[in-house]
Structure 1
Amino acid sequence: MDMSVPPRPTEPRPRRRDRHGRGMRGPIAPPQVPLSVSRADAFVDLVYDSRDRLERRWPQLSEVDFLILEVPGFGPDAGGADETDDGTVPLGRVLPAQGPDRDRIVVYRRPVEIRTKSRDERALLVHEVVVEQVAELLGLAPESVDPRYGQD
């Protein structure tokens, strides 16, 4: 009687992903559905929507760069303070033009997201931050930049 071990196959068996006959898995949602938009992309859209709303009334905003950073203290504003005078983390900031750079308004994504619970709250807070920064840049009161400021 031959008790030798049979040789192992040289090729591994192909794995099957379609175990139950339901087909291959696809994406959770198609790209055109809002579910596939990341939080960061949705935040950028909110900032640009606010900018566009204000730019109709203040055309000089077309000459201002709007930046979205995660948190204060990193990126183009690294030289600035990362806390306000009262010890809170800022939600936005104005960076005046220097040399070849244009005026910039920075909105910080994470501090805004932490202070809001829903998309609607976030949209309102983003718009308030943008209005406040535009008002500071133009040397005006926020109510004169957007008459609906603080009423929402």
Structure 2
Amino acid sequence: MDSSAPQPPAAPPPSGPPRPRRRDRHGRGLRGPLAPPQVPISLTRSELFEDYIRESVERLERRWPQLVDVEFEVAEVPEEAALSGPLPDGVPLGRVVVAQPGQSQKSRITIYRRPVEIRAKAREDRAALVHEILIEQVAELLGLSPDAIDPRYDED
């Protein structure tokens, strides 16, 4: 080999941070989803929370058919207006807005997702807390005691 031949220029050093390694290191293809979309593991926290509310509302509507005319909604956190002033019980977990007579707007019950999730870490506890909150809000809306709304209220 002739040492007088010109050498090819050296490759420039890579600029920027090193690239992350790919998951296809051994030629098996990219990893797929951990679970099919129809199983609960693939649902987001907000979707699971909405399922808890839907199940609880269905239970309550069977006993109280007038709840069909009530709107149920989920909000991440209470609005700033709901938090103004001193709060005797801490951060609210739900809110009732009663429809005014003569207006086309329906009564509305709002459940605040983040405060509920902070108080109940396990799925079963969260579902039970959502149901309790809905019972309390429906009782306030209908002017009844929570025990009248659901006889199993406040059972451990």
Indicate the residue corresponding to 1:55 in structure 2: 61
Q: Check if 1:151 corresponds to 2:155.
A: yes
Select 1:124's aligned residue among 110, 115, 128.
128
SS at match of 1:28: coil
TM-score by length of 2: 0.81
Report the Cα offset of residue 87 of structure 1. Answer: 4.8
CA distance in 1, matches of 2:51, 2:85: 26
Q: CA deviation at 1:88?
A: 0.4
Partner of 1:93: 95
> Are the structure 2 counterparts of residues 54 and 32 from structure 1 closer, same or farther at C-alpha, using a change threshold of 3 Å?
same
Secondary structure (helix, strand or coil) at the match of 2:82 reads coil
Alpha-carbon displacement from aligned partner over 1:37-79 (angstroms, at most 9, x marks no partner): 1111100100111100000010111100001001111xxxx54
Give the CA deviation at 1:83.
Answer: 6.8
Q: What CA distance in whole angstroms lies between the structure 2 residues aligned with 1:102 and 1:92?
A: 17
Structure 2 CA distance for partners of 1:135 and 1:17, relative to 1, 3 Å: closer
Alpha-carbon shift at residue 81 of structure 1 (Å): 3.5
Query: 129, 132, 137: which one pairs with 1:133?
Result: 137
Q: Which residue of 2 aligns with 1:5?
A: 8
Is contact 1:82–1:90 with CA below 8 Å preserved after alignment? no
Does residue 43 in structure 1 map to residue 42 in structure 2? no
5+ long unaligned stretches in structure 2: 12-20
Residue 133 of structure 1 and its aligned partner are, at CA, apart by 0.2
Residue 69 of structure 1: aligned partner: 75
2:83–2:91 CA contact under 8 A, matched in 1: no
The residue type equivalent to 2:58 in the other structure is: D
Identity in percent:
55
In structure 2, distance between residues paired with 1:130 and 1:16: 47
Inter-partner Cα distance in structure 1 for 2:146 and 2:23: 58
Query: 2:137 corresponds to which letter in structure 1?
Result: Q
Work out whether residues 135 and 142 of structure 1, in 8 Å CA contact, stay in contact via their aligned partners in 2: yes
Alpha-carbon offset, residue 100 of structure 1: 2.9
Distance 1:80 1:147, change over 3 A: same
Change in 2 beyond 3 A, CA 1:25/1:89? same
Which of the pair has more CA radius of gyration? 2
